[in-house]
Amino acid sequence: MGLFKRWILCFLAFKFFVPKPVSSSPEALAQIPVDFLDLSKKPEIADYMIGIRRKIHENPELGFEEFQTSKLIRDELDHLGIHYKHPVAITGVVGYVGTGGPPFVAIRADMDALPLEEAVEWEHKSKVPGKMHACGHDAHVAMLLGAAKMLQEHRHELQGTVVLIFQPAEEGQGGAKRMLDAGVLKDVDAIFGIHVSTLYPIGTVASRAGPIMAASGFFDAVISGKGGHAAIPQHSIDPILAASNVIVSLQHLVSREADPLDSQVVTIAKFQGGGAFNVIPDSVTIGGTFRAFSKESFIKLKQRIEEVITKQASVQRCNATVIFNTDERPFYPVTVNNEELHDFFVNVASDMLGAQNIKEMQPVMGTEDFSFFAEAIPGYFFYVGMKNESQGPLALGHSPHYKLNEEALPYGAALHASLATSYLLKNQLEAKLLKGNLHDEL
């Protein structure tokens, strides 16, 4: 969309859709994100989110087991008077704020924890042994509830419906796919997702247009030989030797078959076999992940992994079976940010934070099941900074030493609310322009 058309839309937005008295100007539209940020920093919103986040942090639940987290969310939505659907994908919750009719825009939070023992000693440490919120999903839920609270207070000003998606099982189990299959994005025009980040300063956001995170898949392989005594290896067929050669050969898929400009990764992270120092086992199990930044490269990499494992094992007189268990661990697609939504995000975030605080991030080989949503409809995923140099370094996600800077909560909530509100307004105006209903005014 050209700059002039964008200015006209801004003008018409406030001329026809914002309750009076409001200035009919682009400056007034730009004020929406600022007002939401100011509101989210007030104690009634900021303290509310901190309390929610700490309750969830103390009681972490793994994927598809988020029953108490789901109940907390539903209790809060009940208190706010927000209609919702439950259960969706076992523990998921989908709320609705606004007119109840089109256009629809979705904002999403994941809510599962990780199987880690928390090593951070603080008042609200995990009360569940072996489970911890070590990736910020507790904050994501709190920010979405904070946004829901603000949006509900301004529901009569919304030009459509905001869909609140509280999603289970992001960490490897593909909860987003289950929710997508359940129809949560029916009639939804766009979806936005947030992740907190220890890499960017507080008050900044980071993202990019196009591919932002890789596709990924898991695999296991059982390599079978013939066990025997270590002193007489000639009477055995050694699966450990075969597995070792397989692992080395798999690394050549990236170093010698992939285009150096096409990022790919194959990692073997599991090697299980044998239980004695002097006995060659009958079989060995290896497992790992593979990642790529395009669908074509991902499919080819999967094919070659299976070929290399089975054929390299046969060179060592072993048999191999490769298992891609997509029922339990679905392949995650590439996370691709819609280009038009990127421009829209930059405009809204710049109004809120200043253009200097919008960071262009490099693509990363990590994965995110938000990709299922963004593959189905236009989607946009971004990071909210929470680094504060005066508070010392923060551990990266998936660490037992992970700590969250709660000062980031208002920024996430305000961005959720601002993006949803502004998108509905933009969508409604563009629809009217296409129908020619505003021809005379133009």
pTM value is: 0.90
Maximum distance among all alpha carbons in the chain? Answer: 93
What is the pairing mode between strands 319-323 and 92-98?
Answer: unpaired
Domain boundaries of the chain, sorted by first residue: 26-212+334-437, 215-324
410 has a pLDDT exceeding 50: yes
Whether the CA torsion 138, 144, 148, 154 is positive or negative: it is: positive
Provide the CB-side half-sphere exposure for 140 (13 A, CA).
28
CATH topology of domain 215-324: Alpha-Beta Plaits (3.30.70)
pLDDT band at 436 (very low <50, low <70, confident <90, very high): low
- Are the C-beta atoms of 113 and 61 separated by less than 8 Å? yes
pLDDT digits (tens, 9 = 90+) for 234-289: 999 999 999 999 999 999 999 999 999 999 999 999 999 999 999 999 999 999 99
14 has a pLDDT exceeding 80: no
Residue 389's pLDDT is 87
Distances (CA, A) of 342 to 33, 208, 294: 16, 7, 19
pLDDT digits (tens, 9 = 90+) for 365-399: 999 999 999 999 999 999 999 999 888 889 999 99
Residue 121's pLDDT is 96
Where on the phi/psi map is residue 18: left (φ > 0), alpha (ψ -120 to 50), or beta? beta
20 has a pLDDT exceeding 80: no
22 has a pLDDT exceeding 90: no
pLDDT digits (tens, 9 = 90+) for 317-356: 999 999 998 888 899 999 999 999 999 999 999 999 999 9
Binding-site residues sit at 135, 137, 171, 195, 398
Residue 283's pLDDT is 98
CATH topology of domain 26-212+334-437: Aminopeptidase (3.40.630)
CB-count burial class (<10 Å; 0-12, 13-18, 19+) for 128: middle
CB-count burial class (<10 Å; 0-12, 13-18, 19+) for 163: buried
Binding-site residues for Mn(2+) sit at 135, 137, 171, 195, 398
More confident residue, 26 or 63: 63
User: Which of 263, 226, 252, 235 is CA-nearest to residue 309?
Assistant: 252
Q: What is the DSSP letter of 420?
A: H
Q: How far apart are CA 435 and CA 226, in angstroms?
A: 73
Say how many Å lie between the first and final Cα of the chain, rounded.
16
Residue 23's pLDDT is 37
Return the exposure string of 384-405: e unless at least 16 CB atoms fall within 10 Å of the residue's CB, then b. bbbbeeeeeebeebebeebbbb
30 has a pLDDT exceeding 90: no
Mean pLDDT of the region 48-64: 98
